[in-house]
Structure 1
Amino acid sequence: MLNDVLGPSLDVLFCGINPGLMSEATGRHFARPGNRFWPALHLSGFTPRLLAPAEQHLLPSYGLGITNIVPRASAKAAELTREELAAGGAALAAKVSELSPKVLAVLGVSAYRTAFARPKARIGPQDELVGGARVWVLPNPSGLNAHWTLATIAAELGRLRASL
């Protein structure tokens, strides 16, 4: 199981869908080389330099953390069941309530829709709270999500950062 990256007083708790196989094997979030999370995080101004997955432990010093909706690793998020996503959403809400980040940033609109029964959710800020935190849905940074470019993912992260 991939451990969360957490710290006190988080501004943003980033939430992936579930760990990929490489992340599970290495113990590092967004570990696959084609994943755009780390470059987008830097380009959006959340980090002063490009961090490598091996440097994920530095995130709390920037007020950032990482978790996942579903803890089970898979090759593709499409392998997850609706039940797993719904159970993960409930567990995530409890975790967010305990951690009290300013914003929960979910990286994947389809997973968010299923996990929180919000079928019409779109990328961007959401009207509802999860665990008492504001919610911002972001594009999935996986290389499999090809219709979102690094530049457009970074721009969405930049919109989130500007809202803090």
Structure 2
Amino acid sequence: MPDLLGSGLKVLFCGINPSVYSAVVGYHFARPGNRFWPALHASGFTDRLLAPHEQDELPRLGLGITNVVDRATVSADVLTAEELAEGGRRLAAKVRRYRPRYLAVLGIGAWRTAFRHPGASLGLQPESLGETRVWVLPNPSGLNAHYTPAALARLFRELRGVVEGG
């Protein structure tokens, strides 16, 4: 899955890894039931609900997408701790190169494992990657039943408030 990157990003959203479905169709968060695009819209990051095939509109809004691990899987729980740690090293280098204002990691377990922060919680992290602040959000996959669409929208909105507020 190619990253959706550019200079001057306000937020670089970082999934755990692409689904097999996303890899086949070539768009991030494309699997039916993934709640990323609805949460992005409901939080006010976008003025309308974008479809995955419209992902190229994000950079003009100051938003980008990448993943911790590049390997597509049916479910993120098959990734090894070693894959996540290696992905974390690559992600840190990418963030230092592109310097988004915020990195939004979409998955608390991925952040904890990839960056060795086992006690991390959702929200703004005390650690930064270079000059980039890190914010952790829940995984928006439809397989993650711990968060309702309304709860995801609220958490995405909290990030947007901080990003837009300075």
- TM bucket normalised to smaller: over 0.9
Residue 50 of structure 1 is matched in structure 2 by 49
Greater mean deviation of Cα atoms: 92-101 or 125-134 = 125-134
Is 1:60 paired with 2:46? Answer: no
Q: How many residues align?
A: 163
- What CA deviation, in whole Å up to 9, does each residue of 1:21-76 have, x standing for no partner? 00000110000110000000000000000000000000001100000000000000
Tell me which residue corresponds to 2:127.
128
Structure 1 residues 77-156: aligned runs within 5 Å: 77-156=76-155
> Aligned to 1:126, what secondary structure does the other structure show?
strand
TM-score (structure 2 length as normaliser): 0.97
Unaligned runs of 5+ in 2: none
Asked whether the equivalents of residues 94 and 131 of structure 1 are also in contact (C-alpha less than 8 Å), the reply is: no
Structure 2 counterpart SS, 1:92: helix
Measure, in 1, the Cα distance between the counterparts of 2:152 and 2:125: 17
Q: Structure 1 residue 7: deviation in Å? A: 1.8
- Give the whole-Å Cα distance in 1 for the aligned partners of 2:3 and 2:26: 10
Distance in 2 of aligned mates of 1:52 and 1:35: 11
Whether the aligned pair in 2 keeps the contact of 1:19 and 1:73 (CA below 8 Å) is: yes
Matched, 1:17 2:25: no
Cα offsets for 1:127-160 (capped at 9, x unmatched): 0002431000000000111010111011111000
* Alignment RMSD (CA, Å): 0.6
Structure 1, gaps ≥5 residues long: none
Distance across 2 between alignment mates of 1:26 and 1:3: 12
Q: How many angstroms apart in 2 are the aligned matches of 1:132 and 1:27?
A: 30
Q: Which residue of 2 aligns with 1:74?
A: 73
Contact between 1:42 and 1:48, CA under 8 Å: does it hold in 2? yes
Q: Structure 2 counterpart of 1:41, which letter?
A: L
Which letter maps to 1:147?
H
Q: Distance in 1 between matches of 2:133 and 2:65?
A: 16
Alignment check: 8 A CA contact 1:9 1:63 kept? yes
How far apart, in 1, do the equivalents of 2:131 and 2:52 lie?
29
TM-score (norm 1): 0.98
Kindly, what percent of the aligned residue pairs are identical?
61
Q: Give SS of 1:89's match.
A: helix
